[in-house]
Amino acid sequence: MIEKKDLKMFSLHSKVLPFPLTQVNPLVKGSAAAAFLLLLNLYAGPATYLICFLVIGLLCFFIKQPLRYLKYTLITDFFLFVPMFLMQLLFKPGKNILFSWGMIRISSESVAFSTHLFFKLCLIAAIILLYFYVTDPKELAVSLEEIGLPKIISYVLIATLLLIPQAVRRSKIIMEAQYARGITTSGSLWKRFKMFIPLILPFVLDMLIATEDHALALEARGFSAKVKKTHIDAPQITKSGQYALRFFVAVSIVLILGRVILWKI
């Protein structure tokens, strides 16, 4: 059974941070995010990067804590894409060598390629993080069920999204319990490594037990019953939201067709 505290840890939705973007239907926001992701992947270039950067910057004015979102984005970019940028910059082969030292060779081609890849991945991550920052995973799953997605797939989706928050919460509980029993979790690197096994074994067992509890709770609530299920607080799409959804779907189709035509030319 997925707890409310896990939802709050993963997504800062309207009950936690009331700002305009959380009130938009998840499908509308998803169609917009998909259109921009297609734009980045099919028409990557400086103009595209500038457009996406400006749109993300504009949307930050519609969230209550933009600095928190920017912090998450910068952390993701630093730990995931900066090492990738350095690897491509230092080791990608090229003809116009700008700097050489041993195995390290920096060329104009490697600078252009690594910079292009870095901006592209950073903007993709920013769009995905912004979507989940303003979207409740439960509302996303319910919206997908409303358009015909099987409830099993929707549950797998929300369970996957909430796996990390659940793991973080349970690991904190286990660390506090072990600390109360006299097992220290601080000190030198070797000391922390020796304390790893007393922490990881209860964590694995706890996650396995939680998985069984989830399965029993779902069966007790008739999850697999062959009846039509309804939702009390299912998110609704307004008339303007329907127009926006159709617009972004049409934009995505145009982007794909345009790229196919350009490839044939």
Domain chopping of the chain, boundaries: 13-148+240-264
What is residue 264's predicted lDDT score, i.e. its pLDDT?
66
Say which range, 9-18, 64-73, 90-99, 197-206, has the weakest mean pLDDT: 9-18
168 or 30, which is more confident: 30
Please determine, for residue 235, whether its predicted confidence score (pLDDT) is greater than 60. yes
Which of 26, 20, 23, 27 is closest to 249 using CA atoms? 27
Query: What integer best gives the mean pLDDT of the chain?
Result: 79
What span, in angstroms and rounded, lies between the C-alpha atoms of 113 and 206? 45
Q: What is the pLDDT of residues 108-134, one digit of tens each?
A: 888 888 999 999 999 999 999 999 888
Please determine, for residue 7, whether its predicted confidence score (pLDDT) is greater than 50. no
230 or 203, which is more confident: 203
* Local confidence band at 160 (pLDDT 50, 70, 90 cut-offs): confident
Residues whose CB is less than 8 angstroms from the CB of residue 65 and which lie 6 or more positions away in sequence, other chains included: 12, 17
Q: What is the pLDDT of residues 10-47, one digit of tens each?
A: 444 434 444 577 888 888 998 999 999 999 998 888 89
Q: Is 113 exposed, middle or buried (0-12, 13-18, 19+ CB in 10 A)?
A: middle
